[in-house]
Structure 1
């Protein structure tokens, strides 16, 4: 049992979150991922707390099942190693600003001359073209420019910072995996490699989905709390007496009926999505008052056996222990050092199964000697590379 992507060999030059999360999914599904890390420019996730058993928990998770080679790409000798590697690792994933890899001598044009079948995936904030191609940015900037942040938040307080990096992961990581695998299928059919350009801003812009479609086709641009799904209706979070929250998604009539039956307000059935704003506001105010009368535990018990699309807002610690996630095997033990560490499992379930995780994120350059020996380099040649400052 090696996974459906066992035939893929990927050189991963990325750091932080977008690229590493993409290659984590690929590695979990069986791809052989070799991280190329700079000995002088540490991946900052290695320093991110908390540290458990001497390793950053974030780094140990994001770099699970990947090998590591330390290369100083500013040394000409290291570039020769990369050129030898791409003859075997024929997929490259990188996350530098446009032009950086070209300056280092390992851009797409340079490497495809060595291996015309090379698939080269670049993940950047704004893409390889356009006036913002060289501009710095972070997740919050991409969400802002994509329009998504403009209708995510509250009217009285404005846009809210989201709990996770939507542009980085849903935009960058997921689209990088999709683009990479599409390029693999194209190569299987044609024998041709190609450069895949992933802009996190482009990709998160596409995630506007229904709101974006309405804006383009009908000129309707949503605002804060202006639609049925962004706080403009009873579809929302409600505070309980003990300061916790319940999530209410009872949009369909049958679910709304169940909601109102549990809360004892049958008169609200049919008014939740009324075209009248006064009706919608009245329903929301009533639900706020009703949920505030009891603690979270009470409402959990009341809705436990009711199919009303009403659930408690769990802390991450509570979510980990939830019987549904437990039953789905979303937490697994991953070898780390002489012990193991609990980590989030690959969420994609294959009928043929996936191999058990081999190891958590490794030390920088832990596989350098083994990889170079596998390329046919002698011990003397490797020591020469080390003396030249090419290795980490």
Structure 2
């Protein structure tokens, strides 16, 4: 079967959201050109921690892409921008609206180079409103979206240990989704498309359950710890945690039979298919689960087909047999050896059998800064700039 031409994506963005969007598209087969500053790159090349001597973000977000290095101060900037834009199916821009205009990366300017362009801009706080021109950095948007839980230590506020930002990542996911939807719409006769998402909006959306209950009922969504005795964590004899969820009638009856709680088997109100339990069941279930080990309960609950989940550490999850057969990691070769990074959870296959046995080939290594400049210039019809200094005096 003849392979279709890959989507052509030009990524003008920096740091995390835009590069994540283009990376997800690479994992689905796109040809991505990164337009980078000749010294700073996309802002991800110098980050800590290092893996095999390379920034973890550069390894995670840039494998399989190509890099052209040029400064906005270069006299050839506008020609190069027009050339790569004309080549592209879609471009990704990450900036405030006024900065995009200043750099000649706004929608109307790029549309002159490609009248059928899909243009994706990922902003910090949106295109309008009192926060639209705020400078954006990582955690800031989550903070203004009500997502940052604070620990106070001796009067000093600190981010809770283990907290991770949602907005910068979700904006990349939604950006990639928007690009794909816009390309379909354009190719069905919709003409050029303008795609926008903001990091702040996606961070706020991540809490959509709480958003919905706050704006309508003036209260937060449920706390998982308060859902009930039949949707709760319990400690095993070796002090490991199990999340046990026998909410449906059949599951509850099986659970009572397995744990010796026969006196509770017929207890429940099943009009809406699930019963979350009763407070006086907690001590009875706690005692029953405490009598066996984590491994024993994992085996027994699985065999009885009762909804449950062992509470694993991230290390246990990533190194599990399940993770290995589902190919959650994808490799790439770098000078320091082969490294593995988290793979996109979206995998395309030609049939279900192929999908059930995923085989992910290694991605090409992340490019050196500007390593593909001359090749890209020639490919987009700018042969006269091959070998030219595009640094604009950047240092």
Asked whether the two chains share a fold, i.e. TM above 0.5, the reply is yes
* 3-state SS in 1 of match to 2:115: coil
* 3-state SS in 2 of match to 1:351: coil
1:75 alignment partner in structure 2: 74
Q: Is the 8 A contact 2:331 2:363 kept in 1?
A: no
Cα distance change on mapping 1:386 and 1:197 into 2, 3 Å: closer
Give the CA deviation at 1:120: 1.1
User: Is 1:167–2:162 an aligned residue pair?
Assistant: no
Give the CA deviation at 1:272: 9.8
Give the CA deviation at 1:281: 3.6
1:57 alignment partner in structure 2: 56
CA distance in 1, matches of 2:327, 2:244: 26
CA distance in 2, matches of 1:63, 1:83: 23
**Deviation digits for residues 226-275 of structure 1 (CA, Å, limit 9, x no counterpart):** 45x46432424444455532223333232333344444434455469999
- Aligned partner (choices 370, 375, 385) of residue 381 of structure 1: 385
1:246 alignment partner in structure 2: 242
1:221 alignment partner in structure 2: 219
Give the CA deviation at 1:63: 1.6
The TM-score, its normalising length taken from structure 2, stands at 0.79
Give the CA deviation at 1:128: 1.0
2:154 alignment partner in structure 1: none
Cα distance change on mapping 1:200 and 1:237 into 2, 3 Å: farther
Give the CA deviation at 1:32: 0.7
1:120 alignment partner in structure 2: 119
1:231-242 alignment runs, 5 A limit:
231-234=226-229, 235-240=231-236, 242=238
1:156 alignment partner in structure 2: none
1:305-384 alignment runs, 5 A limit:
305-337=303-335, 339-352=337-350, 356-378=361-383, 381-384=385-388
* 3-state SS in 2 of match to 1:303: helix
Give the CA deviation at 1:288: 4.7
Q: Any gaps of 5 or more consecutive residues in structure 1? A: 151-158
Cα distance change on mapping 1:176 and 1:237 into 2, 3 Å: farther
Give the CA deviation at 1:133: 1.1
CA distance in 2, matches of 1:2, 1:337: 34
Cα distance change on mapping 1:80 and 1:209 into 2, 3 Å: same
1:155 alignment partner in structure 2: none
Cα distance change on mapping 1:350 and 1:103 into 2, 3 Å: same
RMSD of aligned C-alpha atoms? 3.7
1:106 alignment partner in structure 2: 105
* 3-state SS in 1 of match to 2:86: coil
CA distance in 1, matches of 2:330, 2:147: 34
Q: Is the 8 A contact 2:248 2:270 kept in 1?
A: no
1:184-199 alignment runs, 5 A limit:
184-190=183-189, 192-199=191-198
Q: Is the 8 A contact 1:92 1:121 kept in 2?
A: yes
Deviates more, 1:110-119 or 1:13-22: 13-22
Q: Is the 8 A contact 1:143 1:149 kept in 2?
A: yes
CA distance in 1, matches of 2:346, 2:2: 14
Q: Is the 8 A contact 1:13 1:36 kept in 2?
A: yes
- Aligned partner (choices 252, 255, 258) of residue 256 of structure 1: 252
1:233-312 alignment runs, 5 A limit:
233-234=228-229, 235-240=231-236, 242-269=238-265, 270=267, 280-284=278-282, 286-288=284-286, 290-291=288-289, 295-312=293-310
CA distance in 2, matches of 1:67, 1:387: 18
Cα distance change on mapping 1:206 and 1:85 into 2, 3 Å: same
